[in-house]
Amino acid sequence: MSQDCIYCAKDERQEKLMIEIGQLRVSTLFLFREQTYRGRCIVALNEHQTEFFHLSQDKQDAYMRDVAQVAKAIEQAFNPGKINYGAFGDTMPHVHFHIVPKYKDGAAWGKMFEMNPAENKQLTDEEYEEMIGKIKQHL
């Protein structure tokens, strides 16, 4: 637990970047506010661990089930061409996966998704709520 970590501190820095959707087995699901990739989410482990392989086998299994559950919900809610998964954390070393739906003819199809696209596509509160509702329907 570190106050420098936005996933542990759960403060306004996190609030600016993402909206909490709900609790999974061992993680929390967030909708990423930047929506260049429609349906983009983050699955963050509920405890501060810097590497996935540091987790117990049981926790690794539970975490990957959370990731799979979210990816399935996103596929059903938004019908992307493919879902990408990103786990980096150089500057935010708390286990979290970016779940990034990609669309044929959409942004960065066939390439690495951009972490922070220049367009910085923000939606209205109503639009975020609608997306969250769709995801929850399929979780």
Interacting residues with Zn ion (CB under 5 A): 5, 7-8, 48, 94
Using the Cα atoms of residue 55, residue 56, residue 60 and residue 62 in order, give the sign of their dihedral: negative
Complex with Zn ion: residue 3 or 57, whichever CB lies closer: 3
Whether the CB-CB separation of 11 and 18 falls below 8 Å is answered with no
Minimum distance of Zn ion from residue 78's CB (angstroms): 28
Rounded to 5°, the CA angle 30-84-36 comes to 65
Minimum distance of Zn ion from residue 56's CB (angstroms): 18
Complex with Zn ion: residue 8 or 17, whichever CB lies closer: 8
User: By beta-carbon distance, which residue lies closest to Zn ion?
Assistant: 5
111 by Cβ neighbours in 10 Å (0-12 / 13-18 / 19+) ranks as: exposed
Minimum distance of Zn ion from residue 25's CB (angstroms): 18
Minimum distance of Zn ion from residue 94's CB (angstroms): 3
Complex with Zn ion: residue 3 or 124, whichever CB lies closer: 3
Distance between CA atoms of residues 8 and 33, nearest Å: 19
Complex with Zn ion: residue 46 or 84, whichever CB lies closer: 46
